[in-house]
Amino acid sequence: MKEYQFQCEFQVRDYECDMQGHVNNAVYLSYLEHSRHEFIKELGLDFAELVKRGISLVVIRAELDYKRALVSGDRFMVGVILEKISPLRYRFIQDIYLLPEKKLVLKARVTGTGVNAKGKPELPGEIVEALERLG
């Protein structure tokens, strides 16, 4: 398992599963998003404050490689790494592992940017500083 900048643990709930008893593929996106939001909060960034200033952090690309399925009751961990990929883009590298075995469930690469009130790409200073600290 990699060295992650942030980790978040979850447990699968019954209603997140499809008719085959596996976590529905779209639910994994929610797990990933929740982990990103928790990580951003830990970095001291405030989504609500950014929105008040007219800045929205948006996903522009998501790549997911499913390796095995989770089922109801499974405990799992999402590991997160944040990296800068250009002056206006950043990428979250996220992996999901079944616990306690630490078996790989999913590998994800989620690319994002910031958009200002005029709809133009813009990364606020707090994001730029966080990327520099982590990079």
Please state the domain extents for the chain: 6-134
The tokens for 127 are 């994001």
Q: Give the mean pLDDT per block of 10 residues along the chain (135 residues).
A: 93 96 96 96 90 93 98 98 95 98 98 95 89 84
CATH match for 6-134 among 3.10.129.10, 2.60.40.420, 3.40.50.300, 3.40.1190.20: 3.10.129.10
Catalytic residue among 14, 18, 46, 65: 18
- Residues with Cβ within 8 Å of 116's Cβ and at least 6 positions away in sequence, in order, are 54, 55, 122
- Annotated active-site residue 18? The verdict is yes
Predicted pLDDT at 24: 96
Predicted pLDDT at 124: 86
Predicted pLDDT at 76: 98
- Catalogue the long-range contacts made by 22-29 (C-beta closer than 8 Å, 24 or more residues apart): 22/69, 22/70, 22/71, 23/69, 23/70, 23/71, 25/64, 25/66, 28/64, 28/66, 28/96, 28/106, 28/108, 29/62, 29/64
The tokens for 80 are 């997160």
H or E element, residue 36: helix 25-42
Q: Which amino acid is at 41?
A: K
For 67-133, strand residue ranges (E) read 75-86, 89-99, 103-115
d(CA 110, CA 101): 25
The DSSP output letter for 40 is H
